[in-house]
Structure 1
Amino acid sequence: MDDQNKNLLLATLLSFVVIVIWFVLFPPPEKPVDPNAPVETSSTETGTEGAGMLPTTSADTQGSATTAEGSEAAETQAPRVAIDTPRVTGSISLRGGRFDDLRLKDYMTTIDPDSEMVTVLSPVGSENPYYALYGWAASGGLAADAVPGADTLWTAPEGATLTSETPVTLEWDNGNGLTFRREISVDQDYMFTVRQSVENAGDTPVTLRPYGLLRRHGTPTNLKKFFVLHEGMIRMSDGTLQEEDYGDLEDLDADDREGSMPADRVEVSESGWIGFTDHYWMSTLIPDGAFRSTAKYFPNPDIFQTEAVLPAQEVAPGQTVTVSTRLFSGAKEAETIKHYEDEEGVDRFIDAIDWGWFFYLTKPIFWVLHWLHSFIGNMGWSIIALTFLLKLLVFPLAYKSYASMARMKELQPEMEKLKERAGDDRQRLQKEMMELYRKEKVNPASGCLPILIQIPIFFSLYKVIFVTIELRHAPWIGWIRDLSAPDPSSILNLFGLLPYAPPDPTSFLAILSLGVLPILLGISMWLQQKLNPAPTDATQAMIFAWMPWVFMFMLGSFASGLVLYWITNNTITFVQQYAIMRGHGYKPDVFGNIRRSFSRKKVAEGKK
């Protein structure tokens, strides 16, 4: 086998390895869950708190199928208070006073205008039960049945509807001198305020601990499972952010009483919050002041739970005690969350968005993109404008690099002569090359500078496009209706001209289903590469020649917004580099080089 064939084989093997590794790190999107699939019902178990038992319900205890079916029926038949605001709809179950039915009016499950609203909270009996409970834990010898539990049937004014203008008050009397009330209000967005009070009409003082908890039955079925995205428990404790995925939570012990294996528990002295975060949605408990922040997992029957337990309250005879907590449940919109942080005192709430390790880049990149979108009105054009701004920012460094590359191009004939003289003596070739660089005052490593600068910017923009909800279902032009999703067009059906669909995006064959944007990306990278000096090593030169087309396939399944940025970046880089090289006396003839390469190929074929 001659050297050329060896080099070709090596380049092919390396390209294949790169593609495989890339798809391990960035797997294609999972196939959507079938909404018509049978629902698995699960029961839950409740944990204990050092100062008393948190509520237990027939729907939350392990039991037979009959018991589970009965509890689901009871949940369905329980009276409800409707929720209707400009942005959310749903209801609160009077059985336990549960927040277990919440949908977002502004967000659909797909880009189809007839698709269903996004569901954030769901009741027991649904496919993924997920709900919030509030209450009081009995303490100081008070019987557990003296406080409302998760099965307690609260009362509400007849026909009451919770709106942004009309709060709703739930009430329950234990029949032994204690009356519990729960006033619930909600703002124009996603923040609920729960004011819990207990009135003691008895003869003896009582001690209780108010709490709120979020309970999730089973691991969510729609997890993205991307290493760049956190989904699971999230909390802020006196300025310290903690994130744990569901796999980590499964290692926790549900029992956190003194003397036992503790759950993941933190004593918050001033301010904080705790809850669960999904890709675009989040539910968090936000107490006012100090509280005990706890995350638990119940292995049988698979329940994840976060708790916010407030300090014990002593209620004297004739006294009424009131505590206030908040519940955020909705979309992780940066501007909305920032409002709650700046105007309503929710400590570092903006960090609920997963900005990642490069937060010092992802945050400013997002806010600039958001600012551009505020007056451009289209996220696609805003990404293009952002790319221009980023290129302008790094232009001074890029200028030096492109000027050095122009000098490298001018030295190509000298380099070829050195290769002919050195022959197979690589050590001599390297020595003479370094002498030539020193003589001509050229730094061969300077051409890597733009690439090194682009790596953190590219990754940060990838995080912004993938993580932030502002890019979700954002259209650009024509067929690009969702910049957070891959280009839906495919070369396999001639971009929609042939009457059949491309391969399923979850299959490995989807890598061949290139859309318009990935093809433009490959072409833009190839054109840009034509301005760069070719490596002296034949194998390296062949690998570099393959890279535009390898990246074309690798990035084909990436979000359209990211591919759009890369195409714009390549195009601007090509224009800048071309102009700078001509300004330094080198006149690149990109298309002339292409024509000459085809001419040489035809001459070689004619000789054969």
Structure 2
Amino acid sequence: MDTQKFVLFLIFSTSMLFLWDAWQKEQNPSPPAAVETQEAAGESSSVRRQEGTPVPGEKLVSTQPGKGEPSAENAAPVRASGKLESGEKVVVKTDLVVAEIDTAGGDLRQLELLNHPDKEDKNKPFALLQSQYDHVYVAQSGLIGEGLPSHKTRYTVESRTYNLAEGQDKIEVRLVAPAADGMQVAKIYTFHRGSYLIDVSFEVANQGTAAIQPFSYFQMLRDSKPPVGSVFMIPTYTGAALYTEEEKFKKIEFSALDKGNASYPKNADNGWIAMLQHYFLTAWLPKDKLPREYYAKRLGENEYTAGVIVPVGQIEPGNTKTVTVPLYAGPEEQSKLAAVAPGLDLTVDYGWLTVIGAPLFWLLSFYHSWTGNWGVAIILLTMSVKLAFFPLSAAGYRSMAKLRVVTPKLQRLREQHGNDRERMHQAMMDFYKTEKINPMGGCLPIVVQIPVFISLYWVLLASVELRYAPFALWIEDMSSPDPYYVLPVIMGISMYVQSKLSPPATDPIQAKVMQIMPFAFSIFFFFFPAGLVLYSLVNNVLSIAQQWQITRMIERSAAKSNTPATKKK
């Protein structure tokens, strides 16, 4: 296989890899279910429910064998498939979010992020949580125990609107459940200034005559609908994820929940559970050293839940206890997630080349902190990567330049041996050996650089920091395609120029393919985010400058060695 064919194969195979991966994540729907699924085999029959609500008085068993810590094994609270019930709406406004809490269950039904515009209408804030007719994604919580409120309970609240006032650091929204069996429970949401963390607490007052030992659960309920975008702009994962210190980051795919074969650690005293999508996530973050049980379930057709159960502790008569689990609901800002909880930064998925992608993003962020413009930061990052691979690229371009010089001789060899491919191949190998040319010399440097380029691809696509980040002139969003297709067209022109610097193809069909490629890739890049196209364009321009200089030097040297005076010597 000659150099041109090998390069062509690499380009198309890499492009097809991107396309196939993105298409799979966009087009892989969950298989429909004919009936409501039962609990997985091996679960206790005591947790099989028709209505899916927590069963009061379930037997409590230990999640930490030998430690005596109580838990609600297999008591994961779920709900039957169907429309969420509605009650009164409580609206909370802070400097970062507008939240809507429903008194029916005390669910967090709507959460708009004020600093992140909607993808379809930038004049509206992006709604991470919502309960629309075609999309459900809400945060629910409740208690497990006799007479205790769940996400089916109707709460009462003093006010319908809460606003974070100037100089105020937090807002508390207190929802009160109906008293039952001597238990008085309040569900408290605490919103903080400058933070996407929301503390969700249950305050349980035991006004009865016997001690109680309730458990609390905190879950996300959502369908599998991916966020809005094209197939090229949704390369990242949509689904549940879990982190523990022992097993680290683990995805819980909806497809695995459909099949009933999802595998994940259920009992621990650390970690968190989350729902992920492109650019954003929600995660329940129990305090470390607190026993907990994680769960993830398929509730019905296109309806899933993932959550955690934590003990409230024993409450003696006349005493009150409070359990609090923070909810992070916001953007995947990589510089801040690690400080929120250990391992939370792993939710930013760079695919199988995270070890390369993470340093690249760090360098990109450094350039942004210096320039204040993500487009300029991409240009500087591209220059840095190009500089790091300069010696390797130079070796490849020298090999290609030498092939370009001897192409007429190779063409004559092809003509001499006609259809005798074996003799032609042997003659070409002898020719390469005589001329001291490695026909694969221009390909190996490309192979080495491919992992870096793929990593950079994921970095630019997974970074929420580029969402609605302006560059210059008409480019107002680095995460969206160029609205006027200027960058893709210039990108195609740069590919055409680069093809002219490469050794000409001796095969007629291959030559035609090489001529079509710049046009085809221009169309291909019409659908790519502007940040990616900018990176590719800058990389091509730098490659053209380097290749042109090396080619000119090689051709001058070859011309000088072929002059009559030189030959005479």
User: Which TM-score band applies after superposition, normalised by the shorter structure?
Assistant: 0.7 to 0.9
Instruction: Tell me how far apart the structure 1 counterparts of residues 16 and 401 of structure 2 sit (CA, whole Å).
Output: 35
Instruction: Tell me how far apart the structure 2 counterparts of residues 218 and 568 of structure 1 sit (CA, whole Å).
Output: 37
Q: 1:554 to 1:172 in 2, by over 3 A?
A: closer
Instruction: Tell me how far apart the structure 2 counterparts of residues 269 and 18 of structure 1 sit (CA, whole Å).
Output: 41
Tell me what 1:201 maps to.
Answer: 207
- Give the length in aligned residue pairs: 502
Tell me what 2:37 maps to.
Answer: none
* Residue identity matched to 2:530: S
Tell me what 1:553 maps to.
Answer: 523
Output one character per residue of 1:46-99: Cα deviation in whole Å (capped at 9) or x when no partner.
Answer: 36577466668xxx5568xxxx6xx75xx24x252x322211012323332221
Tell me what 2:468 maps to.
Answer: 473
Tell me what 1:154 maps to.
Answer: 155
1:591-606 equivalent positions in 2, closer than 5 A: none
Tell me what 1:374 maps to.
Answer: 369
Farther off after superposition, 580-589 or 563-572: 580-589
Q: 1:104 to 1:54 in 2, by over 3 A?
A: same
Instruction: Tell me how far apart the structure 2 counterparts of residues 538 and 371 of structure 1 sit (CA, whole Å).
Output: 47
Tell me what 1:521 maps to.
Answer: 491
* Residue identity matched to 2:303: I
SS at match of 1:179: strand
Shift of 1:17: 12
SS at match of 2:544: helix
Q: 1:319 to 1:21 in 2, by over 3 A?
A: closer
Q: 1:443 to 1:79 in 2, by over 3 A?
A: closer
SS at match of 1:442: coil
Determine if the alignment matches structure 1 residue 181 to structure 2 residue 190. Answer: no
Instruction: Tell me how far apart the structure 2 counterparts of residues 486 and 158 of structure 1 sit (CA, whole Å).
Output: 44
Instruction: Tell me how far apart the structure 1 counterparts of residues 133 and 465 of structure 2 sit (CA, whole Å).
Output: 28
Instruction: Tell me how far apart the structure 2 counterparts of residues 427 and 405 of structure 1 sit (CA, whole Å).
Output: 24
Tell me what 2:217 maps to.
Answer: 211
2:381 paired residue among 371, 377, 386: 386
SS at match of 2:524: helix
Q: 1:454 to 1:542 in 2, by over 3 A?
A: farther
Tell me what 1:84 maps to.
Answer: 93
1:100 paired residue among 89, 106, 109: 109
Q: 1:29 to 1:487 in 2, by over 3 A?
A: farther
SS at match of 1:313: coil
SS at match of 1:266: coil
Output one character per residue of 1:294-341: Cα deviation in whole Å (capped at 9) or x when no partner.
Answer: 1111226x421112011463222233333221111112222231331x
Shift of 1:210: 1.5
SS at match of 1:284: strand
Instruction: Tell me how far apart the structure 1 counterparts of residues 256 and 374 of structure 2 sit (CA, whole Å).
Output: 36
Tell me what 1:317 maps to.
Answer: 317
Q: 1:17 to 1:312 in 2, by over 3 A?
A: closer
2:401 paired residue among 402, 406, 409: 406
Instruction: Tell me how far apart the structure 1 counterparts of residues 120 and 136 of structure 2 sit (CA, whole Å).
Output: 25
* Residue identity matched to 1:324: T
Tell me what 1:330 maps to.
Answer: 330
* Residue identity matched to 1:379: W
Q: 1:587 to 1:488 in 2, by over 3 A?
A: farther
Tell me what 2:126 maps to.
Answer: 118
Q: Report the aligned-residue RMSD.
A: 3.4
Determine if the alignment matches structure 1 residue 365 to structure 2 residue 360. Answer: yes
Consecutive unaligned residues of structure 2, counting only runs of 5 or more, are 1-10, 27-49, 61-71, 560-569
Instruction: Tell me how far apart the structure 2 counterparts of residues 359 and 16 of structure 1 sit (CA, whole Å).
Output: 23
Kindly indicate whether the alpha-carbon contact (under 8 Å) linking 2:482 and 2:530 is maintained by their aligned counterparts in 1. yes
Tell me what 2:536 maps to.
Answer: 566
Instruction: Tell me how far apart the structure 2 counterparts of residues 349 and 29 of structure 1 sit (CA, whole Å).
Output: 22
Kindly indicate whether the alpha-carbon contact (under 8 Å) linking 2:112 and 2:125 is maintained by their aligned counterparts in 1. yes
1:64-83 equivalent positions in 2, closer than 5 A: 72=85, 75-76=86-87, 78=88, 80=90, 82-83=91-92
Determine if the alignment matches structure 1 residue 130 to structure 2 residue 137. Answer: yes
1:474-553 equivalent positions in 2, closer than 5 A: 474-489=469-484, 515-553=485-523
Shift of 1:275: 2.4
Kindly indicate whether the alpha-carbon contact (under 8 Å) linking 2:312 and 2:323 is maintained by their aligned counterparts in 1. no
Tell me what 1:598 maps to.
Answer: none
1:298-309 equivalent positions in 2, closer than 5 A: 298-299=299-300, 302-309=302-309
2:259 paired residue among 231, 251, 257: 251
Q: Give the share of equivalent positions with the same residue, in percent.
A: 29
Kindly indicate whether the alpha-carbon contact (under 8 Å) linking 1:219 and 1:246 is maintained by their aligned counterparts in 2. no
Shift of 1:105: 0.6
* Residue identity matched to 2:200: V
Kindly indicate whether the alpha-carbon contact (under 8 Å) linking 2:220 and 2:307 is maintained by their aligned counterparts in 1. yes
1:255-270 equivalent positions in 2, closer than 5 A: 266-270=265-269
Q: TM-score, normalised by structure 2?
A: 0.79
Tell me what 1:435 maps to.
Answer: 430
Farther off after superposition, 475-484 or 16-25: 16-25
Shift of 1:25: 5.7
Instruction: Tell me how far apart the structure 2 counterparts of residues 382 and 339 of structure 1 sit (CA, whole Å).
Output: 24
Tell me what 1:291 maps to.
Answer: 292
SS at match of 1:95: coil
Tell me what 1:12 maps to.
Answer: none
Kindly indicate whether the alpha-carbon contact (under 8 Å) linking 1:273 and 1:286 is maintained by their aligned counterparts in 2. yes
Farther off after superposition, 535-544 or 287-296: 535-544
SS at match of 1:456: helix
Q: 1:199 to 1:21 in 2, by over 3 A?
A: closer
* Residue identity matched to 2:401: A
* Residue identity matched to 1:339: A
Instruction: Tell me how far apart the structure 1 counterparts of residues 308 and 432 of structure 2 sit (CA, whole Å).
Output: 65
